[in-house]
Amino acid sequence: MLRRNARLFEELGSGLYFTVADLARVFDIKPESARVMASRYASADVFLRIKKDVYVLASNWRAYTLEQFMRLANIIQVPSHVSLVTALSYYGVTTQVQRNVIECVAQKRTVIYDIKGTVFNYYKLKKQYYFGFSRLSNSDVFISSKEKALVDALYLYSFGKYKIDIDALDLAKLDSGAIRKIIRIYPNRTQKIVKSLCRI
């Protein structure tokens, strides 16, 4: 079936991901049949299930860039955005290496998803701390500012919920004034750590 429908699979794989609705449209089948088809191909490792009714072609997975994985991270849990060491590394603020790990902050739940060896970590933040992010230019990736990514990391660190290599940070690349404004609403224990580290 794969060879017979090569053009249709190529159409599915032309985007970053596809849904069961896309599968039904491309193959001109009913949604119920598309859902069965998706499940069958996921079991055969032709499709990778990202979340309910959302898939990617397994053959595309190995070629995805960091930005594409970050975009998928935004989709797996909504709302969420890339932050913490992943964002700090993207901005060149840390040399801490995380292989095949994408870290995000989210509003719903703290959870880990391991999809074919790529780990998506989500850390729940209280609503009042869920800010300081934007969309990357020429991209659909939502990511924290570098200053907010550091504060997110140190906030979780201050409560024993996160580990970060302090020695790997290049704090000269951060705006201390922006950090000072961000931490005003944070607990004292977080503020103390941030102020001591950033010398503000």
Average pLDDT over every residue of 82-87? 98
Supply the CATH classification number for the domain 6-61.
Answer: 1.10.10.10
Q: Which tens digit of pLDDT belongs to each residue from 145-182?
A: 999 999 999 999 999 999 999 999 999 999 999 999 99
Decide if pLDDT at 64 tops 60: yes
Average pLDDT over every residue of 98-106? 96
Instruction: For residues 178 and 191, give the distance between their C-alpha atoms in angstroms, rounded to a whole number.
Output: 13
Instruction: For residues 182 and 141, give the distance between their C-alpha atoms in angstroms, rounded to a whole number.
Output: 22
How many C-beta neighbours within 10 Å does residue 65 have? 8
Decide if pLDDT at 5 tops 90: no
The pTM of the full predicted model, rounded to 2 decimals, is 0.94
* Bridge partner residues of 113 (DSSP): 120
Domain residue spans of the chain: 6-61, 66-198
